[in-house]
Structure 1
Amino acid sequence: MTPEEKNIVRSLIAVAWADGEVAAPEEGVIDGFLGLYDASDEEEAELKEFAKERKTLDDVPFDELDDEGKEILLSNAALLSAADGKTSESEQKLLDELVKRLKLNEAEAKRIIASARDGAIAVGNRLLEDAD
Structure 2
Amino acid sequence: MQTHDNSSGQVQPPATPFDWIGGESAVHALVERFYDLMELDPAYRELRASHGASLDEARQKLAWFLTGWLGGPQHYIERFGHPRLKMRHMPFKIGIVERDQWLACMDQAMAETGVPEALRQRLQQSFFQTADWMRNQPGA
TM-score range, shorter chain: 0.3 to 0.5
Give the structure, 1 or 2, with the largest relative contact order (CA under 8 Å, sep 6 or more): 1
- TM-score, normalized by length of structure 1? 0.44
**Which one has the bigger helix percentage?**
1
- TM-score, normalized by length of structure 2? 0.42
